[in-house]
Amino acid sequence: MNLIPEIEAAHDEIKALRRTIHAHPELRYEEVGTAKLVAENLERWGLTVHRGIGKTGVVGVLRRGSGSASIGLRADMDALPIQELNTFDHRSTHEGRMHACGHDGHTAMLLGAARHLARHGKFDGTVVFIFQPAEEGGAGARKMIEDGLFERFRVDAVFGIHNWPGIPARHFGVTEGPIMASSNEFRIRIRGTGSHAAMPHNGRDPVFTAVQIANGLQSIVTRNKKPIDTAVLSITQIHAGDAVNVVPDEAWLAGTVRTFTVETLDLIESRMRKIVQATAAAYECDVEFEFKRNYSPTINDPEQTRFAASVMAEVVGADNVDTSVEPTMSAEDFSFMLLEKPGCYAFLGNGDGRHRDTGHGMGPCMLHNASYDFNDELLSVGSTYWVRLAERFLAQ
């Protein structure tokens, strides 16, 4: 382990910031207090600070020398609408809100890097610290981009990290190409003609039609998509009717689609539309099909991924860096930044949960779980990685 001594010496300060953020979680686009904490500390350390980008986002800029190279480092700030089960001292003080995904730790690690680079950084160029709102379903990255993020703060590449339970603490996982999937949702509304359940021939049954559509949609993954092109199509809701002896007028289905490529997503959406419309027509029902593309696949640039992996190896040792980590079908709106700029998104192991303070909930220390807590052992690792990444990138 090759951690920066000054960062290790500041561990308690950064840990205190992390736990303050954890105790005061804020949902997407409501990160007013978190943004204030971030901005005030960046200003205290001498960075130029820009607030209100993408509504509640914060950008800190640090320039040194005369170089024109620039790197973007991103952390997300928002929490989740979850009631925390932990009872330790830094538990959430806001009912129904919790940092159950580690964004408090992501923010703290980037603050630790900003502190060190402002006080001790030796580089020639510009570091852009991006503190993003609304990763959890709010597409805050896209909002910041639409608000002029990369026009106002030019970067040559952009990087992000996410803690990952199950990977050993202080280990990194990364891969070239897709590392996280696209996230998309659909809703299908079927209109038939209601009837008495004893006389279904007098109506047009939307429930039966919904079942046939559900079966037909599963054929897309098994019979239309190439077996080597990963995708998941999940129907998660079917709703219809109020009485056991009445065939209702309407039924609806909803669910999600996840893919690692846009091409596979295009195929699935096209086939879904044809199957839905043709099946409804076959049973003489009307149908509405809505398909919403939320987050794009998170696709790492090969060159920047190899570069980032070499920095990880420098920090934690090559044996602690998995450069072919298994991609996940979860989604991440850092994908929008990688559509604009080359870069790399990586996982930093959060361990198995044994790090949690006394008073943790009985559930597992997994993401989006009410018993989760970020592993403070990672703070110095993440901050050191950010610093070394910026220094080496700007030295190229």
> Residue 376's pLDDT is what?
98
Query: Would you state the pLDDT for residue 323?
Result: 98
Average pLDDT value for the chain: 97
Least Cα distance to 14 among 378, 366, 306, 270 occurs for 378
Residue 66's pLDDT is 82
Distance, in Å, from the CA atom of 172 to the CA atom of 34, rounded to the nearest integer, reads 27
Pairing of strands 125-132, 70-76: parallel
On the question of pLDDT at 63 being above 90, the answer is: yes
pLDDT digits (tens, 9 = 90+) for 149-207: 999 999 999 999 999 999 999 999 999 999 999 999 999 999 999 999 999 999 999 99
Does the pTM surpass 0.85? The reply is yes
46 by DSSP, 3-state: which?
A: coil
Q: Name the band, by pLDDT with cuts 50, 70 and 90, for residue 35.
A: very high
Beta bridge partners of 295: 183
How much is the average pLDDT of 76-105?
Answer: 98
Which domains, from first to last, does the chain contain?
5-179+297-395 (3.40.630.10), 183-295 (3.30.70.360)
pLDDT at 67 over 90: no
Query: Could you give the angle at the alpha carbon of 185 between the alpha carbons of 179 and 187, nearest 5°?
Result: 165
- Other CB atoms within 10 Å distance of the CB of residue 234: 13
Taking 3-state DSSP, the helix, strand and coil percentages for the chain, each rounded to the nearest 5, stand at 35, 25, 35
Q: What angle do CA 1, 38, 142 make, to 5 degrees?
A: 95
**pLDDT of 396 strictly over 90:** no
- How confident is the model at residue 366, as a pLDDT? 97
What pLDDT, in 10s, does the model give residues 9-22?
Answer: 999 999 999 999 99
Quick one: pLDDT at residue 84? 98
Three-state DSSP at 138 gives coil
Q: 54, 93, 92, 89: which is closest to 74 by C-alpha?
A: 54
- Is beta strand 250-259 parallel, antiparallel or unpaired with respect to 231-240? antiparallel
Of 370, 394, 327, which is closest to residue 99 (Cα–Cα)? 370
Q: What is the pLDDT of residues 288-305, one digit of tens each?
A: 999 999 999 999 999 999
What H or E segment, with its residue span, contains residue 219? helix 206-219
Contact 34, 26 (CB under 8 A): yes
Contact (Cβ atoms closer than 8 angstroms) between residue 54 and residue 130: no
Q: CB count, 10 Å around CB of 307?
A: 20
Report pLDDT for 267: 98
Q: Where are the beta strands (DSSP E) in the chain?
A: 48-53, 57-64, 70-76, 125-132, 157-165, 172-173, 177-180, 183-191, 195-196, 231-240, 246-247, 250-259, 286-295, 298-300, 321-322, 343-351
